[in-house]
Amino acid sequence: MTKTAWLFPGQGSQAIGMGVDLLDLPFAKVKFDQARQVLGWDVLEICQSQDDKVSRTLYTQPCLYVVESILADVLIERGNIPNLLAGHSLGEFVALYVSRVFDFDAGLRLVKRRAELMDSAFGGTMVALIGFNREQLEQQIETTPDVVLANDNSPNQVVISGTPEAVESVLAQIKVKRAVPLKVSGAFHSPLLAEAAAEFQEVLQAVPFANALFPVLSNVEPVPTVEAEVLKNRLERQMTGSVRWREISMQLPVEGIERVVEIGPGNVLTGLIKRMCPNLELQNVGKLADLPS
């Protein structure tokens, strides 16, 4: 039996039209109806909006959670079982749902509140860096207040997050092949979100967590666990903590993983892993046609 990890992408992987093909599945219609009851708006309507509403944080996170959850449920329904789970930022909530740490509605309510809090954040910025000297970058971040390494995605691709002034200061001091500002409202995965994170923690504390059916690698601590309290504690730290995706990727072969399935739109995560772990078999499940019969 091939040891398999399921990975769930986060904000940035959304696409106009995602999830629409899933309406051919009767049980998916039920899930979309459930989501409408929780959210007060229609996921598919947002996903089909040609003015790219799906890329606004308020909508992006719930839409990704719903679409990715449905795809994973279909895989399980058809007899596919993961050995390990992980998700990038928002994707961690899908991983926890798939591992039945909480049910679909509870997870969606958490994601809805998280999206509202992050969408209302302001005063910060995020920039993706490609091609840089890591030691030089880390030294500049260490000596510059109000900026952090928010997403450590791979040896050659990271995202820094902080005040616009602090981010510009770091960029002025390093050589980088490409610097791409991200279309986000605030400095996600940084201490600048402390106020929003504190409010989210109160919401999170009220939700009961069960032990996971499958081990989960968390963003802030890329070590697999099934323990409910550990998973909750890690999630509490996620909004202000760094997404340690490079370490998650490198942990996969250590855990004996042979195949990686990215479940959700796009192929960002498998693209990152391909460079770091070239011996792993990679698969993408982003739409109905990708699902095994």
Per-residue pLDDT of the chain (293 residues; tens, 9 = 90+): 899 999 999 999 999 999 999 998 989 999 999 999 999 999 999 999 999 999 999 999 999 999 999 999 999 999 999 999 999 999 999 999 999 999 999 999 999 999 999 999 988 999 999 999 999 999 999 999 999 999 999 999 999 999 999 999 999 999 999 999 998 889 999 999 999 999 999 999 999 999 999 999 999 999 999 999 999 999 999 999 999 999 999 999 999 999 999 999 999 999 999 999 999 999 999 999 998 87
Give CA–CA dist 171/164, Å, rounded: 11
Q: Which of 103, 117, 132, 137 is nearest to 35 (CA)?
A: 103
In the set 13, 69, 189, 242, the catalytic residue is: 189
**Residues 103/97, Cβ–Cβ less than 8 Å:** yes
Give CA–CA dist 210/107, Å, rounded: 12
Strand order in the sheet with 125-132: 147-154, 157-162, 125-132, 176-181
Q: Which of 275, 282, 199, 234 is nearest to 95 (CA)?
A: 234
First to last CA, the chain: 19
Q: What is the pLDDT of residue 37?
A: 98
Does 189 qualify as catalytic in the annotation? Answer: yes
In the set 55, 69, 89, 161, the catalytic residue is: 89
pTM: 0.97
Domains of the chain (ranges, CATH numbers)? 4-120+190-290 (3.40.366.10), 125-181 (3.30.70.250)
Q: Give the DSSP H/E element, type plus range, for residue 259.
A: strand 259-263
Q: Which of 253, 248, 259 is nearest to 282 (CA)?
A: 259
Give CA–CA dist 191/215, Å, rounded: 28
3-class SS at 285?
Answer: strand
Give CA–CA dist 281/283, Å, rounded: 7
Q: What is the pLDDT of residue 122?
A: 86
**Residues 149/166, Cβ–Cβ less than 8 Å:** no
